[in-house]
Structure 1
Amino acid sequence: MADEQTYHVVLNEELQYSIWRADLAIPNGWRPEGTSGTREQCLAHIDEVWTDMRPLSLRRQMEQTERA
Protein backbone atom coordinates (compact mmCIF):
# COMPACT_ATOMS: atom_id res chain seq x y z
CA MET A 1 0.00 0.00 0.00
CA ALA A 2 1.48 3.33 -1.07
CA ASP A 3 1.80 6.13 1.46
CA GLU A 4 -0.24 8.99 0.01
CA GLN A 5 0.31 11.35 2.95
CA THR A 6 1.94 14.73 2.47
CA TYR A 7 4.93 15.44 4.69
CA HIS A 8 6.97 18.49 5.65
CA VAL A 9 10.73 18.47 6.15
CA VAL A 10 11.40 19.92 9.60
CA LEU A 11 14.50 21.09 11.47
CA ASN A 12 15.31 21.40 15.15
CA GLU A 13 17.65 23.85 16.89
CA GLU A 14 20.58 21.48 16.32
CA LEU A 15 19.89 21.61 12.55
CA GLN A 16 18.86 17.97 12.52
CA TYR A 17 16.30 16.98 9.90
CA SER A 18 13.17 14.89 10.08
CA ILE A 19 9.83 14.58 8.32
CA TRP A 20 6.42 15.25 9.80
CA ARG A 21 2.96 14.55 8.45
CA ALA A 22 1.43 17.72 7.04
CA ASP A 23 -1.93 17.05 8.70
CA LEU A 24 -0.37 17.15 12.18
CA ALA A 25 0.88 20.13 14.15
CA ILE A 26 4.66 20.40 14.11
CA PRO A 27 5.94 19.61 17.61
CA ASN A 28 7.68 22.15 19.80
CA GLY A 29 11.37 22.43 19.05
CA TRP A 30 10.92 21.81 15.33
CA ARG A 31 10.25 24.23 12.47
CA PRO A 32 9.35 23.79 8.80
CA GLU A 33 12.37 23.74 6.50
CA GLY A 34 10.32 24.66 3.42
CA THR A 35 10.07 21.33 1.60
CA SER A 36 6.86 19.32 1.36
CA GLY A 37 5.86 16.26 -0.62
CA THR A 38 5.59 12.52 -0.36
CA ARG A 39 7.57 10.64 2.25
CA GLU A 40 10.01 9.51 -0.44
CA GLN A 41 10.44 13.06 -1.82
CA CYS A 42 11.10 14.49 1.63
CA LEU A 43 13.58 11.77 2.54
CA ALA A 44 15.38 12.23 -0.80
CA HIS A 45 15.63 15.97 -0.09
CA ILE A 46 17.08 15.28 3.37
CA ASP A 47 19.63 12.90 1.82
CA GLU A 48 20.76 15.73 -0.48
CA VAL A 49 20.99 18.55 2.06
CA TRP A 50 21.92 16.91 5.37
CA THR A 51 25.54 16.16 4.64
CA ASP A 52 26.88 16.61 8.18
CA MET A 53 24.81 14.67 10.67
CA ARG A 54 26.61 16.02 13.73
CA PRO A 55 24.41 18.25 15.92
CA LEU A 56 25.13 21.98 15.54
CA SER A 57 26.40 22.24 19.12
CA LEU A 58 28.98 19.51 18.48
CA ARG A 59 30.12 21.15 15.23
CA ARG A 60 30.59 24.47 17.04
CA GLN A 61 32.49 22.79 19.88
CA MET A 62 34.78 21.02 17.42
CA GLU A 63 35.43 24.27 15.52
CA GLN A 64 36.44 25.99 18.76
CA THR A 65 38.76 23.11 19.66
CA GLU A 66 40.40 23.29 16.21
CA ARG A 67 41.06 27.03 16.64
CA ALA A 68 42.71 26.59 20.03
Structure 2
Amino acid sequence: MSPTTAPLPPTTDEAPAATTHRVLVNHEEQYCLWPAEKAIPAGWSETFNGPRQACLDHIEAVWTDMRPKSVRD
Protein backbone atom coordinates (compact mmCIF):
# COMPACT_ATOMS: atom_id res chain seq x y z
CA MET A 1 0.00 0.00 0.00
CA SER A 2 1.51 3.33 -1.00
CA PRO A 3 1.23 6.36 1.27
CA THR A 4 -1.10 9.08 0.14
CA THR A 5 -0.40 12.75 0.47
CA ALA A 6 -2.79 15.63 0.53
CA PRO A 7 -2.59 17.96 -2.45
CA LEU A 8 -0.73 21.19 -1.93
CA PRO A 9 -2.82 24.35 -1.64
CA PRO A 10 -2.96 26.43 -4.81
CA THR A 11 -0.35 29.10 -5.32
CA THR A 12 -1.46 32.72 -5.52
CA ASP A 13 -1.60 32.50 -9.33
CA GLU A 14 -3.82 29.40 -9.13
CA ALA A 15 -6.14 30.71 -6.41
CA PRO A 16 -9.82 30.71 -7.36
CA ALA A 17 -11.15 33.92 -8.89
CA ALA A 18 -13.73 34.21 -6.10
CA THR A 19 -11.00 34.61 -3.48
CA THR A 20 -11.29 38.05 -1.98
CA HIS A 21 -8.25 40.29 -2.08
CA ARG A 22 -7.55 43.87 -1.10
CA VAL A 23 -5.81 46.64 -2.95
CA LEU A 24 -3.60 48.57 -0.56
CA VAL A 25 -1.85 51.90 -1.06
CA ASN A 26 0.97 53.48 0.95
CA HIS A 27 1.96 57.11 1.57
CA GLU A 28 4.04 57.05 -1.64
CA GLU A 29 0.92 56.06 -3.62
CA GLN A 30 2.34 52.64 -4.43
CA TYR A 31 -0.23 49.85 -4.75
CA CYS A 32 -0.21 46.29 -3.50
CA LEU A 33 -2.43 43.22 -3.98
CA TRP A 34 -3.06 41.71 -0.52
CA PRO A 35 -4.99 38.62 0.64
CA ALA A 36 -8.20 39.69 2.44
CA GLU A 37 -7.66 37.28 5.33
CA LYS A 38 -4.34 38.90 6.29
CA ALA A 39 -4.08 41.99 8.48
CA ILE A 40 -3.26 45.24 6.71
CA PRO A 41 0.38 46.15 7.45
CA ALA A 42 1.29 49.44 9.11
CA GLY A 43 1.68 52.26 6.61
CA TRP A 44 -0.86 50.83 4.14
CA SER A 45 -4.60 51.42 3.73
CA GLU A 46 -7.27 49.61 1.73
CA THR A 47 -8.60 51.33 -1.39
CA PHE A 48 -10.50 48.48 -3.08
CA ASN A 49 -11.44 44.83 -2.51
CA GLY A 50 -12.93 41.98 -4.50
CA PRO A 51 -11.88 38.97 -6.54
CA ARG A 52 -8.18 38.81 -7.46
CA GLN A 53 -8.66 39.77 -11.12
CA ALA A 54 -10.91 42.71 -10.26
CA CYS A 55 -8.24 43.95 -7.87
CA LEU A 56 -5.53 43.60 -10.53
CA ASP A 57 -7.74 45.46 -13.02
CA HIS A 58 -8.27 48.24 -10.45
CA ILE A 59 -4.52 48.58 -9.85
CA GLU A 60 -3.86 48.74 -13.58
CA ALA A 61 -6.49 51.49 -13.95
CA VAL A 62 -5.36 53.70 -11.07
CA TRP A 63 -1.59 53.18 -10.85
CA THR A 64 -0.61 54.95 -14.03
CA ASP A 65 2.68 56.42 -12.80
CA MET A 66 4.89 53.85 -11.06
CA ARG A 67 7.21 56.46 -9.56
CA PRO A 68 6.84 57.05 -5.81
CA LYS A 69 4.92 60.23 -4.93
CA SER A 70 8.04 61.82 -3.42
CA VAL A 71 9.78 61.58 -6.81
CA ARG A 72 6.78 62.93 -8.76
CA ASP A 73 6.32 66.01 -6.55
Query: TM (normalized to structure 2)?
Result: 0.73
Match of 2:7 in 1: none
Which of 28, 32, 36 aligns to 1:18? It is 32
Q: Who wins on radius of gyration, i.e. which is larger?
A: 2
1:5 shift after superposition: 1.9
1:37 alignment counterpart: 50
**TM alignment of 1:1-68, pairs within 5 A:** 1-3=14-16, 4-33=18-47, 35-60=48-73
* Closer/same/farther in 2, CA of residues 53 and 39 from structure 1, 3 Å limit: same
TM-score, with normalisation over the residues of structure 1?
A: 0.78
Deviations 1:4-36 (A, max 9, x none): 421011001100011111111001111111x11
CA–CA distance in 1 between the matches of 2:27 and 2:51? 24
Would you say how many aligned residue pairs link Structure 1 and Structure 2?
Answer: 59
Where structure 1 has 5 or more consecutive residues not aligned to the other structure, the ranges are 61-68
CA RMSD of aligned residues (A): 1.2
- Secondary structure of the 2:24 match is strand
